[in-house]
Amino acid sequence: MSSQRRISKAYNTARRIPFNDTSKFVIFSDCHRGDNSFADDFANNGNTYFHALTHYYKEGFTYCELGDGDELWENRKFSSILEAHKNVFMLMKQFFEEHRLYRLLGNHDMVYREESYVSKHLHSYFNKVTGKEDPLFPCIEFSEGLVLEHEETGQEIFMLHGHQAEWMNYRGWKWNRFMVRALWRQLQIFGIGDPTSPAKNYLELLKVERRFKKWILEHQNKITIIGHTHRPRFPEPNEIPLFNDGSCVHPRSITGIEIEKGAISLIKWQIASTESGTLKIIRVLLEGPQPLASYQT
């Protein structure tokens, strides 16, 4: 199956969600939540991410996570990830209980495509305080794609992780997972990254973007949002509408995309110093807001 057919498959099987100009969405991907060990890339930005997600919860946003939320290549057990970042999962649980959480499959959490795995590890968790199994994400569903459909204009926003553009990260993910566990995780302590990853390899990154641009051109310039490459992308209205929310494992910051009041923005959350020397977490607008209608085909 070619990359174009894999992307089309994700679109054709995507969950479809109606929205309008009063809807509010925040989109993150590539959190790579780990076990808080030296190899946990998420740990450095954990507090920033939690602060940002708390803000979006209070402001009534729906949270869309476009894959690679949990690092299940380096880590064999979800339970170790849950224990390391319990506050994050309890906050996500609140989103889920209010029907404001959508999670997509990425190559690093591809095991979530197996309903038996999800049922065993995500539907409930062992509460050490009560000594009982408590609900976590009961009956949660993972899909490859998510399509937002505007109730008035019919405009669609297609979201997916992005690994569909690469054969090895889509079909050969088990081999890549083995190499990460056997080799790259050990080398990561010395600062050596996986050269096959588009987040580390610029040529692979360009290849992914080129394949998605081709698909978009053949599908009426449909707004498409991906992650996977870790490189934020925000096109102008006259350009091919391929967006990328970046990642939550940038050095000292996280990036994401907001959709609010019928407009789309690229944002960053980071730690900044005030004049008095106090550190605080701030939101920085990188691009936009740009009306979604500007990208209407």
Q: Which residues of 226-245 are buried (b: 16+ CB within 10 A; e: fewer)?
A: bbbbbbbbbbeeeebbbbbb
Report the C-alpha gap between 96 and 151 in whole angstroms: 23
Contacts of 8 (CB under 8 A, 6+ apart): 215
Q: What is the pLDDT of residues 144-168, one digit of tens each?
A: 999 999 999 999 999 999 999 998 7
- The H or E element that residue 127 is part of is strand 124-127
| pLDDT surpassing 60 at residue 3 | yes
Is 70 strand, coil or helix?
Answer: strand
Q: What is the pLDDT of residues 96-150, one digit of tens each?
A: 999 999 999 999 999 999 999 999 999 999 888 888 899 999 999 999 999 999 9
Q: What is the pLDDT of residues 155-203, one digit of tens each?
A: 999 999 999 999 877 777 677 777 776 766 555 555 555 554 555 677 8
Domains of the chain: 3-295 (3.60.21.10)
129 vs 227, more confident: 227
Please give the model's pTM, rounded to 2 decimal places.
0.92
